[in-house]
A and B are shown apart, each in its own frame.
Chain A
Amino acid sequence: DTAVSQTPKYLVTQMGNDKSIKCEQNLGHDTMYWYKQDSKKFLKIMFSYNNKELIINETVPNRFSPKSPDKAHLNLHINSLELGDSAVYFCASSQLVGAGPQHFGDGTRLSIL
């Protein structure tokens, strides 16, 4: 059973398009996250949600909008995609807010043409 699953695994699209990435966790965790990993493999947090409520919103363009319909799901919608958005996006979850290990999905590789 996959603990944190993301779809799609690959996303290739044109500049200016709008796209969404979905994430689901079956670990029963209360907190979920979105990270961006750039070409140098640096992982940086974008958003954190606890029980459907936004906790962290790092300096991310407002073209990125997370949505959490329930505590097991956290989706990421991106408007007006730009070349610089090309990266791997990881979803993660943890039992507690601000403590304990986070468990990651396998990522969505977004490529902007």
Chain B
Amino acid sequence: EDQVTQSPEALRLQEGESSSLNCSYTVSGLRGLFWYRQDPGKGPEFLFTLYSAGEEKEKERLKATLTKKESFLHITAPKPEDSATYLCAVQAGANNLFFGTGTRLTVIP
């Protein structure tokens, strides 16, 4: 059965304290892994797509990496405005986008 697990559930960082969020997955025939950011009261906002092991994508303070079993979202020197819930989703088989339950990140000034 397809499964996506994100850890930790919640993470509190001091401003400038770098860290990583984990997304581990077990799916048949991965077609893509997606990272989204979700702010309270808003819909998920697309960040990155990764398609194959070894691939990396970067955007400002965020860097996403992919292996055959997991993806990491590295946050370098985070700022308070990076506080949000970060969702990982995988696309396998036909059309389904299967989401994890997210990591709630809080960056304290």
Contacts and interface: CB of A to CB of B under 8 A. Distances in A.
Interface of A: 4, 31, 33, 40-45, 48, 55-56, 90, 92, 97-107
Contacts of A55: 94-95
Interface of B: 31-32, 34, 36, 38, 41-46, 49, 85, 87, 89, 91, 94-99, 101-102
Nearest to A50: B95
Contacts, number: 55
17 contacts: A33-B97, A41-B102, A42-B99, A45-B97, A48-B95, A55-B95, A56-B94, A56-B95, A90-B43, A97-B95, A98-B95, A100-B32, A100-B49, A101-B34, A102-B34, A104-B44, A107-B42
> Main secondary structure on chain B at its contact with chain A?
strand
Given A55-B95, A101-B49, A104-B36, 14 more contacts: A4-B43, A42-B101, A43-B44, A43-B87, A43-B89, A45-B98, A56-B95, A90-B43, A92-B43, A98-B91, A99-B31, A101-B46, A102-B34, A103-B46
The 4 A-B pairs at the shortest CB distance, nearest first, are namely A104-B43, A98-B95, A43-B99, A101-B46
Contacts of A4: 43
A56 B94 CA distance: 9
B43 A106 contact: yes
